[in-house]
Chains A and B, each alone.
Chain A
Amino acid sequence: QSALTQEVSVSGTVGQRVTLSCIGNNIGRYPVSWYQQISHVAPKIVMFETSRPSGIPDRFSGSRSGTTSSLTISGLQPEDEADYYCSTWDTSRRTWVFGGGTRLTVL
């Protein structure tokens, strides 16, 4: 059982705003990072807490409330279709953990 819970799938149309969530007890104690994986190739970081790495479009934003971290894409684009994973440090397991991933489909 994953220490971080994500929606299995989310879908949206081009231009729509979608929010992916990541729920876990360690969220709030340690920063959460988000990774995009397109067609099972190398993951790419798209968000660290609320900061976007260089090169990530500004339609991506991050937020946190309590034990939930969220990744929001405002103005969904076809190239955003991918699997998204959240990650943080798990103090009880003493390991980095990932959520099960959300498959984002752009309709």
Chain B
Amino acid sequence: QVHLRESGPGLVKPSETLSLTCSISGYNVGSDTFWGWFRQTPGKGLEWLASLHPDGTSFYSPSLRRRDMMSLDTSNNQFSLTLTSVTAADTATYYCAKIGGVSGRRWFGPWGQGILVTVSS
């Protein structure tokens, strides 16, 4: 069974860089599948942020900044999200998920349990 778990800081100061990691068990991160990051806030609801395939194919939400990015770490079977110059608007619960299906027919799951990140000085 595939399990994902997010980790990272619960509190980040404005203008700093936020780095989140998603650790995977029961599946090889280097396999032929996409991995994704999402976040959820009371005001904006669920939001897709980015998706990445082990072959390097990536997709990013237009809402992310140019230097925000995802990366894969096959040695540790995990993937990460880095958000730069964070603001209070980045305060959210962040989820990672496996992306199933094929091009044009994709779904999200399973999901990690989520991690609450607060941006505040």
Query: Chain A interface (Cβ within 8 Å of chain B)?
Result: 2, 30-31, 33, 35, 40-45, 48, 53, 85, 87, 89, 93-101
Contact = CB atoms under 8 A, between A and B. Distances in A.
A98 B45 contact: yes
A48 to B, nearest CB: 5
A30 B107 CA distance: 11
Given A41-B113, A42-B114, A94-B62, A35 B48 contact: no
B16 interface: no
Q: Which of A2, A30, A53, A95 has the most CB of B within 10 A?
A: A95
Interface string B96-121: 00000100111111111110000000
A94 B61 CA distance: 8
B113 A42 contact: yes
Given A42-B114, A43-B95, A44-B111, A93 B62 contact: yes
Interface string B68-101: 0000000000000000000000000101000001
Given A48-B107, A93-B62, A42 B95 contact: yes
Contact of A87 (B104, B108, B114): B108
A42 B112 contact: yes
Given A42-B95, A42-B114, A31 B48 contact: no
B48 A95 contact: yes
10 contacts: A31-B106, A41-B113, A43-B46, A43-B108, A85-B45, A89-B104, A94-B62, A95-B48, A95-B62, A101-B45
B107 A98 contact: no
B64 to A, nearest CB: 10
A53 B108 CA distance: 11
Contacts of A94: 62
A40 B106 CA distance: 23
A39 to B, nearest CB: 12
